[in-house]
Amino acid sequence: MSPDLPTSRPPDFPSFRPTVLPSYRLVVAAIVLAALLYVGFRGAGKVPPVGPLLDPARGIWALARSAELPARSHGRIAGLSAGVDVLYDDRGVPHIFAASEADAWRAQGYVVARDRLFQMELQTRAASGTLSELLGPRAVEADRADRRRGFPWAAERGMVALDSGSLIARAATAYAEGVNAWIDAMGPADLPLEYRLLRARPARWHPIDTFYLFLQMAYTLAWDDETLAKLQARALVGSAAADALFPRNSPIQEPIQPNGQTAPRYDFVALPPPGPPDSVALVASRDRAELDLALGWSPRRPGDGDAIGSNNWVVGPRRTAAGYALLAGDPHLELSLPSVWYELHLHVAGGPDVAGVTFPGSPGVIIGFNRQVAWSFTNTGADVRDYYQETVDDEAHPARYRLDGAWKPLETRVEVVHGPRGVVLATDTVRFTHRGPLARVGGRWLSMRWTPFEAARPGEDFLRLDRAGSVTEWLDGWKEYVAAAQNGVAADRSGAIAIRSTGKYPVRPGGRGDLLQDGSTSAADWSGFLPLAQYPYARDPAQGYLASANQQPVDPRANPQYFGVNWYSPWRALRINRLLRADSAVTPAAMRGFQTDPKSERAAAFVPLFLAAARADSSLQPAAALLAEWDRGYTRENRGAVLFEAAMSELAGLVWDELLPREELADTAARPAAIPEDAVLLELAADSGSVWWDDHRTAAVERRDQLLAQALRRGLARVLREHGPLDGSGWRWENAHHANLFHLLRIPGLSALELPVQGGTSTLSPSPGRGTHGPSWRMVVELGPEVRAWAIYPGGQSGNPVSARYLDRLPRWLAGTLDTLLFPSRPEELPAGRVRARLSLSRER
């Protein structure tokens, strides 16, 4: 095996020792190489393809190269009419200076894709029913639900009907050009981490994707219309009681449209006792539950509180310290990483000059301000969805449905769900009546009508708001807005303030939208929409301010029109109105303070009831003492909030035992299928002898105070069990409750979890339930001679988890501080020391 050394061996290789590899080493090398190549190209089990992942030139390590924006860079976008300058400030906010609106939208598409490409694609796919193409079979059911819900049907119909010359068509097209220009320009290091983990490449962006985005947002904001809750309640306690538990009008009136009162009005009445179960409703409620399931609708979960809600308010010059109008807004949405929002400034020569936040995928600014006007939105929560029981020609495979005595053809679509490599994962036939998607539920065929499907130009209204020069123009700019209905507030530099709950509100023949309709007659169809004059609205009111926090928008005594039922309890509305009434010289700093105010009106209402109930029980005195000294605040170190929330949670389960499904009565851990709002619970508390206080699972007949004491006792036991002794350090709100910002793919390593946070259920800075929702953007704007603005959102501008801009805002958001926003009218106005990067965009050659 070892021949003699050659005599001519070069001196450079002293250890030269000719040999031939033994066979077994060849075999081992071949096996190892084959295995490495296989794992490298294909991965193994849960291990992704290792080769492209670890590759230092193009793999994950390359992300370090694209983590931060280069100081100077250049990009090309086909169709630009002139060059566009983009200056990124030290907060990572792009200031886009363009010669035309279309160029600004192109540049916007480019810069947003540069920072948030994966998020854009993921949320669009979540609406178009194509998640499986990216995520594989695990997303099949979500995709099928999207398609059954009619999203692709509606978006495609909208695109076909869209006037190509319309503002939104031009904007969405320009935006798509910008996004695709970035996709084309991406280098190996620019491919976002998520695509690498999923072994995918970015899809091209199309104008319809912007429509999908707005459908997805409408879906997010489409709270359950409470038909299900009410049906379930009717099934158990009869109609009269159900109507009282899930009332059309809030028992506490502090409406968005001022009603001339200087304090909230409590319209409490005695709740009717539980009636006999309604067997018809029982069937209907089961159908409705199945329908929600069939259409992929997620009813508001009991216990979530006002997880998806928002605050906004404006203060007129008479009540501000500086004499300028002030505006504050903080939409409460899912707290994701990256954030649902992207902040930017669009400056168009001779056109809009607007800053604020937008959804990645949407042209223009959604919430923000320009040189004259500032605005923000809260969700109205209007009932804009109805269900119809249809008569079809064939129960198994219907082709026609009955309307006014005649058969009408059903529109059908064959929906094919594909996997990542084009493999067919599911095929469904989805049918539509003239109202919307049709689904078979419990042996019946039900169709659904929903206002977002009827938006001819979704997103266009926001582009008009960007151009508004006054509150009047702002109000005019979105008078045709369809969905999801929003309570929009605005203020301008002249000192005008206004609020309007805007969106298409269906006019139903019965006046109510919370009942299953008869689909066999067109008389059951919506006869139109409420005229603009009927919308809840106020401008420059005598009280000097306006506020909304998802409460019932208008006092039914002032406007009896049907907008919805079972409104969120108005705790946040009560709090902000209290704060604004008490301050006649509001400052921007005070506005910021209000946004993170830790006090709870809900606690203020219920704590005295607990204290009164605990008086007779000596074992509850430590708990009562703690609640008595509690300031009703949800600050991080607070102990009272820990006990109060535990007691309130127990109370709901104890009081509403009548709403437990009969088969779950024996289960002590069972929760009612539908839980009335806490405002109704407070209404009940006014009647200490009501039969609703009796826990039917016990032999005794309980009254209010007994049940409250029992809830406090159970709450105390729970907290002691979970957090240790009363005088220990475990009893801190920050230990009991956390904010959780999940990465879009729910990857813990890319998420920010278990964050100590100030605020709880129904505080102005809410953090209810699992802490996954909360203030997604806090903004304060002063409309003085020069518009000044402050804002923050959790997370950062970059969607790249290895970027310093991925989480850089989080500490300030947690601390409740706001960043001062830069709003230069020329590139030169941006202080040189605060410019972090420059991007020049030019026409493609």
Residues that bind another protein (CB under 8 A): 3-4, 6, 10, 12-21, 25-26, 29-30, 32-33, 36-37, 40-41, 50-52, 54-65, 67-68, 193, 197, 747-750, 801-804
Strand 309-315 versus strand 325-334 pairing type: antiparallel
Of the CA atoms within 13 Å of residue 760, those in its CB half-sphere come to 28
Q: Is 71 exposed, middle or buried (0-12, 13-18, 19+ CB in 10 A)?
A: exposed
Q: Between 339 and 447, whose beta carbon lies closer to another protein?
A: 339
Rounded to a whole number of angstroms, the minimum distance from the CB of residue 25 to another protein is 6
Q: Which two tokens mark 33?
A: 């190489």
- Closest distance of CB 66 from another protein, Å: 9
Please list, in sequence order, all residues whose beta carbon lies within 8 angstroms of the beta carbon of residue 599, skipping any fewer than 6 positions away.
575, 631, 632, 633, 634, 763
Q: Which residue's CB is nearer to another protein, number 40 or number 420?
A: 40
User: Would you call 388 helix, strand, or coil by DSSP?
Assistant: strand
Least Cβ distance, residue 734 to another protein (angstroms)? 23
Q: Which is nearer to another protein, 747 or 835 (CB)?
A: 747
User: Token match 């102005």: residue?
Assistant: 764
Q: Measure the CA–CA gap between 122 and 124, rounded to whole angstroms.
A: 5
Region label for 39, one of left (φ > 0), alpha (ψ between -120 and 50) or beta (otherwise):
alpha
Nearer to another protein, 176 or 750 (CB): 750
- Residue 136: CB minimum distance to another protein, A: 17
Q: How far is the CB of 62 from another protein (least distance, A)?
A: 7
CB of 32 or CB of 263, closer to another protein: 32
CA dihedral 337, 484, 535, 504 (to 10 degrees): 170
Residue 63 or 291 with smaller CB distance to another protein: 63
Residue with tokens 């301010």: 545
Min CB(22)–another protein separation in Å: 8
Distant-in-sequence, close-in-space partners of 192: CB < 8 Å, separation ≥ 6: 117, 118, 202, 799, 800
What is the Cα–Cα distance from 705 to 610, expressed in whole angstroms?
Answer: 8
Answer yes or no: are the C-beta atoms of 348 and 331 closer than 8 Å.
Answer: no
In whole angstroms, the minimum distance from the beta carbon of 3 to another protein comes to 5
Residue (of 741, 221, 143) closest to 481 by Cα position? 221
- Least spacing, CB of residue 753 vs another protein, in Å: 11
Q: 553 and 256 in contact (C-beta within 8 Å)?
A: yes
The nearest distance, CB 14 to another protein, in angstroms, is 7
Rank residues 25 and 845 by Cβ distance to another protein and give the closer one.
Answer: 25
Instruction: Compare residues 58 and 413 and give the one whose CB is closer to another protein.
Output: 58
Distance in angstroms (rounded) separating the CA atoms of residues 490 and 267 = 30
Q: 512 phi and psi, to 5 degrees?
A: -125, 145
Name the residue nearer to another protein (CB basis): 667 or 754: 754
CA distance 767 to 776: 11
Between 9 and 696, whose beta carbon lies closer to another protein?
Answer: 9
Query: How far apart are CB 433 and another protein at their closest, in Å?
Result: 46
Q: How far is the CB of 88 from another protein (least distance, A)?
A: 16
Other C-beta atoms closer than 10 Å to the C-beta of 110 total 28
Smallest separation, CB 199 to another protein (Å): 14
User: What is the rounded CA–CA span in Å between residue 267 and residue 244?
Assistant: 12
Q: Cα(548)–Cα(320) distance, rounded to whole angstroms? A: 19
Nearest Cα to Cα of residue 578 among 270, 313, 283: 313
Q: Which is nearer to another protein, 65 or 836 (CB)?
A: 65
146 vs 194 by CB, closer to another protein: 194
